Structure 1
Amino acid sequence: MLWAALVLPLGPDSTPPSSDALQGLGTWALQFTPRVAVVDEAVVMEVEASTRLFRGKRALRDRVVQESADLGVTSVSWAPTSLAALALARVGKENGIRRPIGELLDELPMGALSATSKHQTTLTQLGCRTLGDIRKLPRGGVSRRFDKELLGAMDQAYGLRPEAHTWLTIPEGFKLRVELMSRVELAPALLFGARRLLMSMCGWLAARHSGTTAFALRWAHDTMRSKEAGTGGELVVRTAAPMRDLEHLCRLLAENLAKVELLAPAGDLELEALDVHALEERTASLLPDTVRAGESLTLVLERVAARLGPERVLRPVLVEDHRLEWMQHWQPAPQPVAKKRIRTTGIPQPSFVLPEPLRLATRGNRPMYQGPLHLLTGPHRVEGGWWHRIKDGETEGTKNVVRDYWVALSDHCGVLWIFQERLANEETAWYLQGSFA
């Protein structure tokens, strides 16, 4: 498991962050994983299954750290358990996956875990200073003297007991409020607080694979205002196409705020997504970005072949041949491809083909592959290749084949593509050539 803990700063007199701030951060985190929960003053998320989607742990870490800072996150830590990540974040240690988690937690002060900080006075009188000191105490005595949450939280942090969280769910609509740090008198200055709301909205849109064409920013005037100013104002921003690009939405909002005049100082902001539409995702490509900009694949291959040499860049070409091994061949990319209409036989073709056919064992002329095979459809006769002459050293021959193909079912391997071939000595042989997805 790989957990991340994102800690928000405590308020005056160590008051916890507001529920709106935690909700906004949690909504933003849902774009990375559906397993997001609020724990004390932090948001934790399990991202082990998401690392490949976001191009590895390093790329995911960099993005989370960079973007979460705009949401007010003061510390981010990574560890095999959520409580361990939260404990590390509280003491300012980020990486909890390079060393065994037991060694790291043993060094932390008792206040790193909420369950132990409640009993810090008593534990200090017992001579405990770190979490490792608490682990050295007899478990029986600890369970009798303290509540069950203490040992339970310790075991969960060290990975000895499974953790249980109440996961955040993706709301059907987006509507979030934030209180500004100080009263704002000029409308363009509202963008600082609005950017946090926009980040949460973009995270919500990413989790729903959607984009917005309209959103509303509302502000509430300070209580010490004139009657003519009213309770607040509203600004609706619209886009020509569904999107969730944070920087573009911020620029649009800034242009609109520049035309607004506040009738009284504003203290609270609220953002609501009005029109939400499904957004078609673009598949990532291994080719240069110029391909997406309109350059054809042929031009890209020609340019790469010119740099590396024509024999080092190959492309597959279909051949009008019913023999599976010779249905396609590779040729240098710059060479022209003859446009032929390839006629199909209607015979089912396997999804995966072995480099060389694998001869199968038989029992009573019945093919075996991890158990007996059940023949589903066939035979499909493929015969030809007498024109395909080869020379291997002093030996010369042809690639003529006479095969009867079958679709077979294996109890352990699924649907297979096998064929039967009669050898020169009249012995019947079965071969496995591919499998179906």
Structure 2
Amino acid sequence: MLWACIVLPHLALDGVLRRRPDAGPLVLVDGPVNARSIVSANREAREAGLHVGQRLSAAQALLTRFDALPYDREAVDRWHRFLAAVAYRYSSEVSLLPHAIVLEVSRSMGLFGPWPRLEAMLRADLAALGFRHRITAAPTPHAAYVLAGVSDGQAVLTPDTLRRALQGVPIGKSRLPAAATEALPGMGIRTLGQLLGLPRDGLRRRFGVELLAALDRLTGELPAGLDAYRPPDVFDLRIELMHEVENIASLVFPLRRITGDLAAYLAGRDGGVQRFVLRLEHRDGKVTEVPVGLLTPEREPGMLFELARGRLDQVQLPEPVLAMRLIARDLPPFVPGGRDLFDERPANALPIEQLRERLRARLGDRAVHQLDSTTDPRPERAQAVAGQSPCGSGFSRDAFAFTNPKSPIPNPGSKASRLKPLPQQPLPQSDEPRPTWLLDRPIPLRGTAPRILSGPERLETGWWDGGEVCRDYYVVETSLGQHAWAFCAPGEQAGWMLQGWFA
């Protein structure tokens, strides 16, 4: 087996800095109100002379302007579990240790590649989320945890080399029971190598079985004994803003961050999201809810951000925003869209599903429809909005209900509808010259008489409902150079009626 350990030495501070990209000197403080001390400091604060363990009063005497925020243990726990959910993408065996995450990766390397590649993927994910880290690998989770405490990037890939890698680890960083780590240096035992060479009976008499069990878990003689972590079925993340926000534009950065977190969580679950809610929190407990719904599950971070921003842009803020919260409960399985092996679309072409969702976000749910086919051959009745037609859902070219000699005409009545080419001009060689834009109803084609490109094709149909039509259809070019589909009365080339436009 091979275990990876991710140590998160600045979890609390990174959780704050990721929502404050341009923070000045900032520290986290903890302890009694009258004796608070610094537990974490960012780079600007350290360069100004502030350091961990320093009393807040001493720091204020040294530096007049800096931000001091309370150390939030609940927030640290939330970020810890969130990153475990992200790591779940790479392994089904994930466990939590203090300020660290361990995951079994020997089977994962068959999917993601050798350890250096998998390590690089883990680091890229953590860096994109804004969390500093150290990563090591070892045959046991506890050994990986110990090694991550003394170095970054070390990889012990076989059990035979594990004891050698542990030889020089100081006892103070061995993560063994506290009673032993405090007493052993006074006995002249300062490294794990020295400790592992001592007689076990003497260690048992002096420190009990707890120390021996810890050593056996470290070397793999005993099972790790860790609780498995499972991601929750609901994503619920809240970002408290540093100041009151009065316009939508100032919410773009936290929105990008929170939707990126949702995408990382979904990748860990190997799932997607179809509905989620943005909650904008105001004073006195007031909330503005912004629902975001998709037609199909999605998890691409840029897509989720664009959709949420499109919905957010339509909101009028009643009051300043103090916090943003994203809740996603509808998390169905996600199936990536397939592409042809020889797909000739440009690399930056937007898939139709993403284009559709962006249009819905920008224009509203009712502005974009899926077309449905009908069995009526009249062009103005050949299309319907999906869900409003008695036919099945989905759009097909048969929705136009026209045929060429290779395709039979639909039969809505007791006798056949007729669409036939007349002998005056040959039909063009291209397949079914039908416009992509059909008008809801024909309208007069004004202006100079068009130039006929092909046709006519005669349509005789509609006798079963009293709406019988008899028309000669042509592909024409207008005086402005536009290609149109138009008809006139049988045998005539005047009184043109426009039916649709070609792209």
Same fold (TM over 0.5): yes
Q: 5+ residue gaps in structure 2?
A: 13-27, 29-38, 41-70, 347-503
Q: Kindly provide the CA deviation profile for residues 34-74 of structure 1, in whole angstroms up to 9, marking residues without a partner as x.
A: 11111111111111111121233333221111112215242
Q: How does 1:274-423 map to 2 (within 5 A)?
A: 274-281=329-336, 291-293=342-344
Q: State yes or no: 1:115 paired with 2:170.
A: no
Residue 238 of structure 1, aligned match among 272, 275, 293: 293
**Preserved contact between residue 24 and residue 197 of structure 1 (Cα < 8 Å):** no
What is the rounded CA distance, in whole Å, between the counterparts of 2:302 and 2:308 in structure 1? Answer: 10
- The answer for the alignment partner of 2:211 in structure 1 is 150
Q: How does 1:200-211 map to 2 (within 5 A)?
A: 200-211=261-272
Distance 1:189 1:26, change over 3 A: farther
The TM-score with structure 2 as length reference comes to 0.49
Q: Kindly provide the CA deviation profile for residues 159-196 of structure 1, in whole angstroms up to 9, marking residues without a partner as x.
A: 2222122111243x222335558446365555555556
Distance 1:45 1:246, change over 3 A: same
Q: State yes or no: 1:24 paired with 2:82.
A: yes
What is the rounded CA distance, in whole Å, between the counterparts of 1:176 and 1:98 in structure 2? Answer: 37
Q: State yes or no: 1:159 paired with 2:220.
A: yes
What is the rounded CA distance, in whole Å, between the counterparts of 2:106 and 2:342 in structure 1? Answer: 32
What is the rounded CA distance, in whole Å, between the counterparts of 2:143 and 2:257 in structure 1? Answer: 27
Identity %: 28
**Preserved contact between residue 194 and residue 271 of structure 1 (Cα < 8 Å):** no
Q: State yes or no: 1:125 paired with 2:186.
A: yes
Amino acid in the other structure paired with 1:110: I
Query: 1:24 Cα deviation (Å)?
Result: 0.7
**Preserved contact between residue 96 and residue 104 of structure 1 (Cα < 8 Å):** no
Residue 37 of structure 1, aligned match among 95, 99, 105: 95
- The answer for the alignment partner of 1:176 in structure 2 is 236
Query: 1:95 Cα deviation (Å)?
Result: 2.1
**Preserved contact between residue 5 and residue 82 of structure 1 (Cα < 8 Å):** yes
What is the rounded CA distance, in whole Å, between the counterparts of 1:189 and 1:92 in structure 2? Answer: 40
Distance 1:262 1:163, change over 3 A: farther
Distance 1:47 1:237, change over 3 A: same
**Preserved contact between residue 209 and residue 281 of structure 1 (Cα < 8 Å):** no
Query: 1:266 Cα deviation (Å)?
Result: 2.5
Distance 1:117 1:130, change over 3 A: farther
Q: 5+ residue gaps in structure 1?
A: 296-437
Query: 1:276 Cα deviation (Å)?
Result: 2.9
Cα RMSD of the aligned pairs, angstroms, is 3.4
Distance 1:98 1:44, change over 3 A: closer
**Preserved contact between residue 32 and residue 47 of structure 1 (Cα < 8 Å):** yes
Query: 1:103 Cα deviation (Å)?
Result: 1.8
Q: Kindly provide the CA deviation profile for residues 330-382 of structure 1, in whole angstroms up to 9, marking residues without a partner as x.
A: xxxxxxxxxxxxxxxxxxxxxxxxxxxxxxxxxxxxxxxxxxxxxxxxxxxxx
Distance 1:98 1:209, change over 3 A: closer
**Preserved contact between residue 6 and residue 73 of structure 1 (Cα < 8 Å):** no
Amino acid in the other structure paired with 1:142: L
Query: 1:244 Cα deviation (Å)?
Result: 0.9
Amino acid in the other structure paired with 2:122: V
SS in 2 for 1:249: helix
What is the rounded CA distance, in whole Å, between the counterparts of 2:4 and 2:200 in structure 1? Answer: 29
Q: Kindly provide the CA deviation profile for residues 185-230 of structure 1, in whole angstroms up to 9, marking residues without a partner as x.
A: 3655555555565455334434554321222233545xxx5x4xx4
Q: State yes or no: 1:249 paired with 2:304.
A: yes
Of the structure 1 ranges 141-150 and 77-86, higher mean CA displacement relative to structure 2 is found in 141-150
Q: Kindly provide the CA deviation profile for residues 56-112 of structure 1, in whole angstroms up to 9, marking residues without a partner as x.
A: 333322111111221524222222211122122222322222682212222222233
Distance 1:263 1:68, change over 3 A: same
SS in 2 for 1:235: strand
- The answer for the alignment partner of 2:123 in structure 1 is 65
Residue 199 of structure 2, aligned match among 138, 151, 167: 138
What is the rounded CA distance, in whole Å, between the counterparts of 1:220 and 1:147 in structure 2? Answer: 54
Distance 1:31 1:7, change over 3 A: same
Residue 325 of structure 2, aligned match among 267, 270, 274: 270
Size of the alignment, in residue pairs?
283
Query: 1:126 Cα deviation (Å)?
Result: 1.4
Say which structure is richer in strand: 1
User: Greater relative contact order: 1 or 2 (C-alpha under 8 angstroms, separation 6 or more)?
Assistant: 1
Q: Kindly provide the CA deviation profile for residues 265-292 of structure 1, in whole angstroms up to 9, marking residues without a partner as x.
A: 535x432224333322467x9xxx7524
Q: Kindly provide the CA deviation profile for residues 368-426 of structure 1, in whole angstroms up to 9, marking residues without a partner as x.
A: xxxxxxxxxxxxxxxxxxxxxxxxxxxxxxxxxxxxxxxxxxxxxxxxxxxxxxxxxxx
Q: How does 1:99-114 map to 2 (within 5 A)?
A: 100-114=161-175
Amino acid in the other structure paired with 1:112: K
SS in 2 for 1:49: coil
Q: Kindly provide the CA deviation profile for residues 250-307 of structure 1, in whole angstroms up to 9, marking residues without a partner as x.
A: 343455556665834535x432224333322467x9xxx7524579xxxxxxxxxxxx
The TM-score with structure 1 as length reference comes to 0.56
Amino acid in the other structure paired with 1:35: E
- The answer for the alignment partner of 1:372 in structure 2 is none
Residue 47 of structure 1, aligned match among 105, 108, 119: 105
SS in 1 for 2:110: coil
